Amino acid sequence: MASRASSGANSSRTRVGKYELGRTLGEGTFAKVKFARNVDTGENVAIKILDKEKVLKHKMISQIKREISTMKLIRHPNVIRMHEVMASKTKIYIVLEFVNGGELFDKIASSGRMKEDDARKYFQQLINTVDYCHSRGVFHRDLKPENLLLDASGNLKVSDFGLSALPQQVREDGLLHTTCGTPNYVAPEVINNKGYDGAKADLWSCGVILFVLMAGYLPFEDSNLVTLYKKIFKAEFTCPPWFSTSAKKLIKRILDPNTVTRIKISEVIENEWFKKGYKPPVFHSADVSLDDVDAVFSESGNSGNLVVERREEKPVTMNAFELISTSQGLNLGTLFEKQMQLVKRETRFASKRPANEIISKIEEVATPLGFDVKKKNYKMKLQGSKTGRKGHLSVATEVFEVAPSLYMVELRKSGGDTLEFHNFYNNITTGLKDIMWKAGEELK
């Protein structure tokens, strides 16, 4: 039985070219991100998978090619690196650097807030990154906590730079016109939908992020969206007393609702508070080829350039390295425990019950809570019927085999509000208690 778990790893996974796909790390309207391993080198990567049909439907091909080409050329120590691009008949695969230090905001979860010097260090890395990308014509437009990751050394890594804005379009006036992003982090001119400057909007989001790092809470927060927008339009916020005077002044200049008088990034970099202890990043130049991007987007659609997805219909077997990568700081003790206080986008539990039984039980418990259930192999999509703060809550569920007769069940918010997902998880686990394995119980 033990050999099945280890030797079955290859046969139970989807393989794309030289990459073996693992669990889903995140998903959105246009893309899904999966953990993957380069079979030739053993290197862990993340693969962003775009649906070709959706891309064509939204007339995004030329824009995506431009964005991907630019992103491939960006070599900044605080931006997640793009390795290569591939395509199958139906999908585009963007192979990215895999970062396993967790989200920056997990750092404030335990203490409530960061010391000013620590917050400044991350803010310096963020501003330097944003400035570098802007100088190359790449704007993020959706800077928020889940896009700010840390590597194993604790350095900031910004993800989705240039890729988060794929559905957006720049019109003839040179301005962006699509409202996007997480409302609390979005600049007033973006919400206003009259066109906005991507650089100024990114800086506003950076200001909100700095505030949250130092305060431990959001500057603009309200459960009513209209009231929240009013607060953002007026820049109605108060800095807590522990902020230094110079930090307060800088944040107020960044969170200026008037785009004409709002401070520019070049001025932020010259600010005395910002400059304290500033260490410019070290760059390593590298030869970068765009041949793979050209091949993926070539008009001829040469089938010789296409990769093929091969898959098996059984639960994915998760190897030890991948299992460890799901756990913050290699602390396996907390791997399967839910953290009640933290509102996260994903959570997981372990079970000794057969995979089919786990799936059936989740369906049995989710249906009375008002969720529509769609099943495919050992994955489920739970779609809420009620409209919440950010539309319908949607939850992706997947069962992984981590050892003989031990499964890990991951529930991940794929749409809707994170707080509503947290409440849903607390409700559903009440009905799943009899299938959940507790740490310390014997494994048969």
Q: Are 343 and 240 in a shared domain?
A: no
The pLDDT value given to residue 389: 59
Between 59 and 379, the more confident residue is 379
Does residue 150 surpass a pLDDT of 50? yes
Does 115 belong to an annotated binding site?
no
More reliable by pLDDT, 302 or 425: 425
Are 144 and 232 contained in the same domain?
yes
Boundary of a domain, candidates 237, 259, 275: 275
Q: What is the pLDDT of residues 299-311, one digit of tens each?
A: 545 555 677 776 6
3-state secondary structure of 248: helix
Average pLDDT over residues 360-376: 88
Segment holding 111, helix H or strand E: helix 106-111
pLDDT number for residue 63: 72
Residue 280 lies in a domain: no
Which of 341, 249, 321, 262 is closest to 6 using CA atoms?
A: 321
Domain boundary among 223, 256, 275: 275
Query: Are residue 387 and residue 262 in the same domain, yes or no?
Result: no
Residues 270 and 126 occupy one common structural domain: yes
- Say if residue 174 is exposed, middle or buried (CB neighbours under 10 Å; 0-12, 13-18, 19+): exposed
Q: Which residue has the higher pLDDT, 305 or 284?
A: 284
Domain encompassing residue 432: 336-437
Q: Is the entire prediction scored with pTM above 0.75?
A: no
| End residue of a domain, out of 233, 258, 275 | 275
User: Domain check: are 163 and 252 in the same one?
Assistant: yes
Residues 271, 391, single domain; the answer is: no
**Inside any domain, residue 26:** no
Which residues have CB under 8 Å from 242's CB, separation 6+? Answer: 214
pLDDT of residue 351: 85
- Sign of torsion, CA 312 316 320 323? positive
d(CA 315, CA 306): 26
Q: What is the CATH number of the domain that holds 228?
A: 1.10.510.10
Same domain, 369 and 270: no
Q: Is residue 437 scored above 60 in pLDDT?
A: yes
pLDDT at 153 over 70: yes
Structural domain contains residue 232: yes
Both tokens assigned to 385: 């019927």
The one catalytic residue among 131, 142, 160, 256 = 142
Same domain for 354 and 253, yes or no, is no
**CATH number of the domain residue 371 falls in:** 3.30.310.80
Give the mean pLDDT of the chain.
78
- pLDDT-based confidence at residue 8 (cuts at 50, 70, 90): very low
Q: 344 with 203, same domain? A: no
H or E stretch including 384?
strand 379-388
What region does 137 belong to: left with phi over 0, alpha with psi -120 to 50, or beta?
A: left
Residues 271 and 410 in one domain: no
Higher pLDDT, 407 or 272: 272
Q: What is the pLDDT of residues 176-204, one digit of tens each?
A: 434 444 678 888 888 876 677 888 999 99
Supply angle C-alpha 107, 110, 111, rounded to 5.
90
Residue 292 lies in a domain: no
Answer whether residue 126 shows pLDDT above 90: yes
Domain contains 387: yes
Query: pLDDT tier at 319 (50, 70, 90 boundaries)?
Result: low
- Give domain status of residue 389, yes or no: yes
In a domain, 114, yes or no: yes
Examine the pLDDT at 444 and tell me if it is beyond 70.
no
Residue 117 is a catalytic residue: no
Half-sphere exposure of 354 (CA within 13 A, CB side): 4
pLDDT at position 311: 65
Does residue 361 share a domain with residue 229? no
The string of pLDDT tens digits covering residues 68-80 is 887 787 888 998 8
Q: How far is CA 16 from CA 47, 69, 310, in A?
A: 10, 21, 7
Question: At 83, which amino acid appears?
Answer: H
Mean pLDDT of 206-217: 93
112 in any annotated domain = yes
154-175 mean pLDDT:
60
Residues 194 and 341 in one domain: no
Lowest mean pLDDT: which of 27-36, 315-324, 328-337, 433-442? 328-337
Number of domains in the chain: 2
pLDDT band, very low/low/confident/very high, at 290 (cuts 50, 70, 90): confident
